[in-house]
Structure 1
Amino acid sequence: MDITDFYDTFFEEAEELLADMERYLLELDVEEPDAEQLNAIFRAAHSIKGGAGTFGFDVLQKTTHLFENLLDHTRRGELALRRDIVDTFLETKDMLHDQLDAYRNGNEPDQEAFERICRTLQQLALEEIGQDLDGGGAPAPTAAMAPEPTPVVEPEAGAATASGHLIVALLGLSDANRQLLVEELGQLGEVRDQSGDAARYEVTLETTASADDIEAVMCFIVEPEQVEVRAAGGESSTTAATDPEPPAADAPAEPASGGPAATAVTRSAPTQKPAAKSKAKGAGESTSIRVSVDKVDQIINLVGELIITQSMLDQTVGELDGVTNGSLVNGMNLLQRNARDLQEAVMSIRMIPMDFVFSRFPRVVRETSSKLGKEIELITEGESTELDKSLTERIIDPLTHLVRNSLDHGIEPPEVREAAGKPRTGKLTLSARHQGGNILIEVIDDGAGLNRDRLLAKARENGLNVADTMSDDEVWQLIFAPGFSTAREVTDVSGRGVGMDVVKRNIQGMGGHVQIMSTPGEGTTIRIVLPLTLAILDGMSIKVGDEVFILPLSAVLESLQPAREDLYAMAGDDVVLKVRDEYLPVVAVHEALDVPGARTELTETIAVIVQGEGRRYALLVDDLVGQQQVVVKNLETNYRKVPGVSAATILGDGSVALILDITGLHRLSRTKKEARRPGRAAHSLEALSDNALETSS
């Protein structure tokens, strides 16, 4: 058996264990640490050490060995926690992550960094408990790097001594899989005997490894309930860490520690996740499988092609007589429903909870607030809200910048808050929720809010074209201008004016937009609106001349026939449409995209009211064709970037239709109008008040 076949499984599960470890470390109360959390952190390190040893990742194994021993002293109560000690643990976790990445990429970890973290851990042990982590000796790098056996534990814990024998029982495995595992056990020691059948096959192993190490390694390959390890001649037992049954709460989860571990089995911990499955399902049956993202993407692409084909057939059948071809029409209707159900089921595979994103921010808030000398409480809401995996990965960086910006500029220092009658501890809330076909992600702080006058003054200082008549929404959007910063001094957190414009650009690249709501003295809310997925879109087909375009249905608010008395001419050739006391910029699609043969008389067109980046526009089109689901094709990858267009799709008749970008279309329209008016200053419709509009009419 090629052991490298299991590398990917080890890397993925070790990544999850490290994420769990960081979460538990951040949740620890240093005054009264929870024994359950300490045991969970210890077991995460223990499992990674066991796997790393089996796969020959020596540096990772030796680092986790030292870390595991230090954690063992902590959960025994021999090492009293402080904030700086937890910071050292978090630094060690980061080092383990770097080492894991190095092995994943086929490289050796940084030796200097490895020696440094070893010295740090050894020095911490000497200062706090008066001994090094291997039971004595100097904390020199060479000593730290020397492979030491796992500390001897009591026989009932299933540990082997230098020449100990263990019985490893393999349960419910096929002959082929069983033989592969026996060969793998041979790499952990010497197989002395083996017997049994498919239901229970026992292997006698002479090894220096502990039962815990063997179980940790085996659980990267098979399910925990398929492996039992005991000392030769001892009673058959599975350790509490892999037994999810309630009675196990009476047994110590980690007898080797001698610490309070009884409560550790009452809640899911990192190495307990696989054991949480119901045993009623039978040995070997799992409730989940790991599948490559590439395979999922391939299925999604095939489903997309299926929907295009179904759309083509639907259009063809729609041209037939429904009476004489009733069964065909009914069959097509059934195919349409099944295709939509299939698409929704496949898309749900790529959806992951926002907890994947939010779990990264307790660390960010902890470290940033410490640098700034602020007291900040992080609150997360809607962690179970799901978003497409590709979007969750791309939203992390913009969201991190927004969080750091709120911590630095939004929330005041404790003494300033106290003087203003606020609690010393500020609140930062991250929330996520669904709204129609979108997901709303909000960063909310209870800080000082945005200062309108200060923003306008800074904008003028930077040479931006602003006016006192601008709405609050437009003033708040100034913070996204390139190079814009109100920070009085540059720090390692912010103040360089770099980042917020990139945040906005990245979010727009995901088909989303940013809204800002702020109240002076009360706080600021930054809302990110994103589509749930970029693969398939519910759209509205519109016709302009002989061309068909697609509007994202989530952006369409209503449509109406514009009346002449509701149209107002502005300076130059700008026009606005009055809709229920709101004046909307008019964008003629045929002018923006140079479409010939379109209607030019405004009252003969149809105005589609759409929303983009928090603002509303009136798009003038010739006809509304209908609503349909379309498969999004990246136009930039397959052709080039086109202004006013976000993507493309294939229609039922095989023709290509462009999917319009609302905000980009408005910008394109304004650019073309300005090009027709050389030498004239840019005139901002958005900066005009209602009175000015009515006067100009």
Structure 2
Amino acid sequence: MTIDISQFFQVFFDEAEELLAEMERLLLAVDIDAPDAEDLNAIFRTAHSVKGGASTFGVTDMTEVTHILETLLDRVRKGEMALTSEHVDAFLAAKDILKMQLDGHRHGAEVDQDAVADVRMMLQSLSQDAPVAALAHIAPSFHNSAPDAAAVDHSGGRRYRLELPAMAHREVTALGAELGLMGHVAITPLDHDRNAMVVTTHESLDDIIAICSFVLNPDQMVVTELPALTPEQASLEQAERAKTEDALGYGFFDPVDLTPAAPAPAGQGQGYGFFQPLEEIRAAAAEGADDARGYGFFQPLEQIRTAAGLPPEAAPVVAAQPHHDEHEKKPGKKEEKAASAPGAESSSIRVSIEKVDQLINLVGELVITQAMIEQRVDTLDPMVHERLLNSVSQLTRNTRDLQEAVMSIRMMPMDFVFSRFPRMVRDLAAKLGKKVDFITNGAATELDKGLIERIVDPLTHLVRNSIDHGIEMPDVRRAAGKADAGRLFLSASHQGGNIIIEVSDDGGGLNREKILAKAMQNGLPVSDAMADADVWQLIFAPGFSTAEQVTDVSGRGVGMDVVKRNITAMGGVVDIRSAKGYGTTISISLPLTLAILDGMSIRVGEEVYILPLGFVIESLQPAPEDVKEISGKGKVVKVRGEYLPLVPLYQMFDITPRYTCPSEGIVVIIETEGRKAGLFIDDLVGQQQVVVKNLESNYRKVAGISGATILGDGGVSLILDVAALIRSSRQLADESIFS
């Protein structure tokens, strides 16, 4: 039997990354002048949770940083220190360092130790009574016995006496190690293998009990609060403790030799003694030493007994199973809280994205099979085969419900993307000397995970461009009668079968003359009579930039063309609206999902195409007098007083149609990007769900086609790209028709 221990570390890595992201979000949202107490408590809890997880898994470098960070946050939340912008900057820098350390353990990425030391020094300098020397080597031990190491002064802090049940040597060592990070710990031996700990700390009793609950049942522990020490008593106790610890190994245990030749005792630096350091686990796994090391995760029982100094038959149950006989015990205070809390049980599970993709593919095949069955039974006599037809109808309903449920698994809120930008906006605005208020809307709007991952880079470039080129410097804004702080909006909303993402600012807007001049200089075909919308599209030309100087932010003309290319590859469209002096809005339209859609089957000649239902407004057969010819511009159709350009599909794809007169065929009114057109086809076949297959990866890119699908009869049908069809209709009809 083998156990994949990587899954345990993976949970820690995932949770730590989520906690660090939450910490950054809270820090960016906190009001420095009047911080909310709950916000400060929430920030503290994230740091405390990261430290707890890091300590459990023996990730000591993260434990050291989070311990200093937690101490400083605790003073801020208790009102002992006023929150300043310097604090927020330092906390954000610490978050970056912790993320770097996490990536180092998770992916083997390089960790800049100089940067780690700088951040630790920065945090230390912000603390009023924690000298840097005390933080030079924070290890899971009760003190730093180096002669020049200064100890943290905990005078005035709370003192708790913890009377512990009978525990193994290594368990007491591990517990004291973790509590030692929270304050001073003194151990006194009692009878029958029991011990008492006196903890002097600024932490709360709940925090201490939470740490103890990792290795024992809190119900078995007697806690007494002692009077706080005066500064004089604290000084005398510290001096006496130092003598006792050096002589007797913390007043109870023999001194431990931590020289390189001697291995560290069980429990020190290994997450309470149960988790080996990650490097050792990886090395053991590489050597195939799982069996010898308890699958590379837990030490063999014989080693635990030896480390505890006990004979094999007298070894106690290791603390990794503190609640093995829960049915014989009353739940402790912490356990009761956890059981009564509404969110005590996990409301979500982590599932590999490969499994989700496999499930979606299988549902896609089920949709195709269901369409085939439905097509077969259409030829049956409904009177003779009534029960079969009812069963097929039930199958259709269940298939649709299953498809919607599975697709919702892959949908993710846009907040996953939006949450990346507040920090970037803050840092970039400070770097450029600008003031920017960042506002988001529609963060709960959901989009397919595959699109979410691919939209991050284009949005990042657009946001940076808005800050660098769009929003003016404070003095320029004041001269224009604007507020010093520019406003940057990032919004997402649903529109039909699409999601619309907009990046908008209230800056200076695009400069038409400057863009045209630069385009002429680059040899692009332009004219002064061009419509504004066409001029704005010029900025997506490769290498196009109107920046007067190149900076490390932008100015090389690399990026906007990539933005448009990436969005187009996702089946999306980019549109720009700008007014000089008032700002610019860049709108991105993307399909909600790339997997399954509702479509309308249409026929032209002998070909059957799929028209995405989200773009369809209505279908009709126009009267001959409603169809007009515009000289040199193609035909238009009048629909309730509005003239729309007519797009003959047979002309677009060079097909021989059954009808060439619109009044004999069918016109489907379609709309996208706020523009309407009439699609002229021969006939409507029906409506069905279709599974989208990528045509470009299997064949090549085809203009006017966004993908392909398999029909109920096993044939292949192409899915129309409505946006491309409407854009092409502008070649057939005058631009003024759209206005």
Q: Smaller-chain TM-score range?
A: 0.7 to 0.9
Q: SS where residue 586 of structure 2 aligns? A: strand
Whichever residue aligns with residue 59 of structure 1, its letter is D
CA distance in 2, matches of 1:443, 1:665: 26
Match of residue 61 from structure 2:
59
Q: SS where residue 129 of structure 1 aligns? A: coil
Aligned partners of 1:644 and 1:666 also within 8 Å: no
Match of residue 575 from structure 1:
634
Q: For each residue in 1:324-365, what CA deviation from the matched residue of structure 2 results, as whole angstroms up to 9, or x when unmatched?
A: 222222222222112111111222222222222222221121
2:389 matches 1:340: no
2:403 matches 1:401: no
- Counterparts of residues 620-631 of structure 1 (less than 5 Å): 620-631=680-691
What is the Cα deviation at residue 231 of structure 1?
Answer: 7.4
CA distance in 1, matches of 2:478, 2:32: 26
Q: For each residue in 1:175-214, what CA deviation from the matched residue of structure 2 results, as whole angstroms up to 9, or x when unmatched?
A: xxxxxxx9x9899569xxxxxxxxxxxx999999998589
What is the Cα deviation at residue 369 of structure 1?
Answer: 1.4
For structure 1, the residue ranges without an aligned partner over 5 or more in a row are 137-142, 169-181, 191-202, 220-225, 237-273, 671-682
Q: SS where residue 401 of structure 2 aligns? A: helix
CA distance in 2, matches of 1:415, 1:317: 73
CA distance in 1, matches of 2:460, 2:212: 35
What is the Cα deviation at residue 451 of structure 1?
Answer: 3.4
Match of residue 31 from structure 1:
33
Whichever residue aligns with residue 110 of structure 1, its letter is E
Aligned partners of 2:676 and 2:726 also within 8 Å: no
Q: Which stretch of structure 1 is more off in the superposition, 490-499 or 301-310?
A: 490-499
Aligned partners of 2:621 and 2:664 also within 8 Å: yes
CA distance in 2, matches of 1:634, 1:187: 60
2:221 matches 1:232: yes
Alignment partner for residue 633 of structure 1, among 690, 693, 714? Answer: 693
What is the Cα deviation at residue 472 of structure 1?
Answer: 3.0
Whichever residue aligns with residue 221 of structure 2, its letter is A
Match of residue 20 from structure 2:
18
Indicate the RMSD between aligned Cα atoms, in angstroms. Answer: 4.2
What is the Cα deviation at residue 603 of structure 1?
Answer: 5.5
Alignment partner for residue 512 of structure 2, among 438, 444, 452? Answer: 452
What is the Cα deviation at residue 20 of structure 1?
Answer: 0.8
What is the Cα deviation at residue 92 of structure 1?
Answer: 2.0
CA distance in 2, matches of 1:428, 1:397: 17
Match of residue 604 from structure 2:
544
CA distance in 2, matches of 1:458, 1:275: 69
Q: For each residue in 1:493-529, what CA deviation from the matched residue of structure 2 results, as whole angstroms up to 9, or x when unmatched?
A: 2222222222222222222222333333332222222
Aligned length: 597
Aligned partners of 1:78 and 1:129 also within 8 Å: no
- Go from structure 1 to structure 2 and tell me whether the alpha carbon gap of 1:689 and 1:227 turns closer, same or farther (over 3 Å shift): farther
Whichever residue aligns with residue 23 of structure 1, its letter is R
- Go from structure 1 to structure 2 and tell me whether the alpha carbon gap of 1:217 and 1:339 turns closer, same or farther (over 3 Å shift): farther
What is the Cα deviation at residue 559 of structure 1?
Answer: 3.7
Whichever residue aligns with residue 114 of structure 1, its letter is Q
Aligned partners of 1:166 and 1:230 also within 8 Å: no
What is the Cα deviation at residue 279 of structure 1?
Answer: 4.1
Whichever residue aligns with residue 50 of structure 1, its letter is G
- Go from structure 1 to structure 2 and tell me whether the alpha carbon gap of 1:690 and 1:233 turns closer, same or farther (over 3 Å shift): closer
Whichever residue aligns with residue 119 of structure 2, its letter is T
Aligned partners of 2:161 and 2:224 also within 8 Å: no
CA distance in 1, matches of 2:600, 2:94: 53
What is the Cα deviation at residue 584 of structure 1?
Answer: 5.6
CA distance in 2, matches of 1:104, 1:217: 28
Aligned partners of 1:610 and 1:616 also within 8 Å: yes
CA distance in 2, matches of 1:499, 1:507: 12
- Counterparts of residues 360-375 of structure 1 (less than 5 Å): 360-375=420-435
- Go from structure 1 to structure 2 and tell me whether the alpha carbon gap of 1:282 and 1:387 turns closer, same or farther (over 3 Å shift): closer
Alignment partner for residue 566 of structure 1, among 622, 627, 630? Answer: 627
Q: Which stretch of structure 1 is more off in the superposition, 658-667 or 498-507?
A: 658-667
Alignment partner for residue 293 of structure 1, among 332, 353, 356? Answer: 353
Aligned partners of 1:15 and 1:97 also within 8 Å: yes
Q: Which stretch of structure 1 is more off in the superposition, 227-236 or 479-488?
A: 227-236
- Go from structure 1 to structure 2 and tell me whether the alpha carbon gap of 1:422 and 1:282 turns closer, same or farther (over 3 Å shift): closer
Whichever residue aligns with residue 233 of structure 1, its letter is V
Q: For each residue in 1:28-51, what CA deviation from the matched residue of structure 2 results, as whole angstroms up to 9, or x when unmatched?
A: 333344343333223222222222
- Go from structure 1 to structure 2 and tell me whether the alpha carbon gap of 1:540 and 1:298 turns closer, same or farther (over 3 Å shift): same
What is the Cα deviation at residue 93 of structure 1?
Answer: 1.0
For structure 2, the residue ranges without an aligned partner over 5 or more in a row are 144-151, 177-192, 226-333
Aligned partners of 2:707 and 2:718 also within 8 Å: yes
CA distance in 2, matches of 1:651, 1:318: 15
Whichever residue aligns with residue 42 of structure 2, its letter is A
Aligned partners of 2:93 and 2:119 also within 8 Å: no
Aligned partners of 1:404 and 1:493 also within 8 Å: yes
- Go from structure 1 to structure 2 and tell me whether the alpha carbon gap of 1:122 and 1:282 turns closer, same or farther (over 3 Å shift): closer
Alignment partner for residue 411 of structure 1, among 461, 466, 471? Answer: 471
- Go from structure 1 to structure 2 and tell me whether the alpha carbon gap of 1:287 and 1:604 turns closer, same or farther (over 3 Å shift): same
Whichever residue aligns with residue 319 of structure 1, its letter is T
What is the Cα deviation at residue 14 of structure 1?
Answer: 0.8
CA distance in 2, matches of 1:437, 1:204: 67
Aligned partners of 2:668 and 2:678 also within 8 Å: yes
Whichever residue aligns with residue 232 of structure 1, its letter is M
Q: SS where residue 398 of structure 2 aligns? A: helix
CA distance in 2, matches of 1:333, 1:110: 58
Q: Which stretch of structure 1 is more off in the superposition, 303-312 or 388-397?
A: 388-397
What is the Cα deviation at residue 313 of structure 1?
Answer: 0.9
Aligned partners of 1:548 and 1:657 also within 8 Å: yes
Match of residue 382 from structure 1:
442
Q: SS where residue 234 of structure 1 aligns? A: strand
What is the Cα deviation at residue 481 of structure 1?
Answer: 2.6
2:537 matches 1:477: yes
Q: Which stretch of structure 1 is more off in the superposition, 575-584 or 504-513?
A: 575-584
Alignment partner for residue 567 of structure 2, among 507, 523, 526? Answer: 507
Match of residue 104 from structure 1:
106
Aligned partners of 1:42 and 1:72 also within 8 Å: yes
CA distance in 1, matches of 2:698, 2:213: 46
- Counterparts of residues 431-450 of structure 1 (less than 5 Å): 431-450=491-510
- Go from structure 1 to structure 2 and tell me whether the alpha carbon gap of 1:306 and 1:149 turns closer, same or farther (over 3 Å shift): farther
Aligned partners of 1:51 and 1:217 also within 8 Å: no
Whichever residue aligns with residue 566 of structure 1, its letter is V
Q: SS where residue 222 of structure 2 aligns? A: coil
What is the Cα deviation at residue 448 of structure 1?
Answer: 2.5
Q: For each residue in 1:239-280, what CA deviation from the matched residue of structure 2 results, as whole angstroms up to 9, or x when unmatched?
A: xxxxxxxxxxxxxxxxxxxxxxxxxxxxxxxxxxx9999845
Whichever residue aligns with residue 519 of structure 1, its letter is A
- Go from structure 1 to structure 2 and tell me whether the alpha carbon gap of 1:159 and 1:391 turns closer, same or farther (over 3 Å shift): farther
Aligned partners of 2:596 and 2:692 also within 8 Å: yes
Q: SS where residue 668 of structure 2 aligns? A: strand
Q: Which stretch of structure 1 is more off in the superposition, 302-311 or 282-291?
A: 282-291
Aligned partners of 1:215 and 1:227 also within 8 Å: no
Q: Which stretch of structure 1 is more off in the superposition, 554-563 or 207-216?
A: 207-216
Match of residue 126 from structure 1:
125
CA distance in 2, matches of 1:393, 1:37: 29
Q: Which stretch of structure 1 is more off in the superposition, 553-562 or 352-361?
A: 553-562
Aligned partners of 1:160 and 1:166 also within 8 Å: no
User: Normalising by the residue count of structure 1, what TM-score does the alignment of the two structures yield?
Assistant: 0.74
Match of residue 319 from structure 1:
379
Match of residue 8 from structure 1:
10
Aligned partners of 1:166 and 1:231 also within 8 Å: yes
What is the Cα deviation at residue 21 of structure 1?
Answer: 0.6
Match of residue 593 from structure 1:
653
Aligned partners of 2:704 and 2:725 also within 8 Å: yes
CA distance in 2, matches of 1:96, 1:479: 39
CA distance in 2, matches of 1:638, 1:510: 16
Aligned partners of 2:72 and 2:127 also within 8 Å: no
CA distance in 2, matches of 1:160, 1:95: 35
CA distance in 2, matches of 1:586, 1:49: 65
- Go from structure 1 to structure 2 and tell me whether the alpha carbon gap of 1:451 and 1:21 turns closer, same or farther (over 3 Å shift): same
- Go from structure 1 to structure 2 and tell me whether the alpha carbon gap of 1:520 and 1:215 turns closer, same or farther (over 3 Å shift): same
Match of residue 68 from structure 1:
70
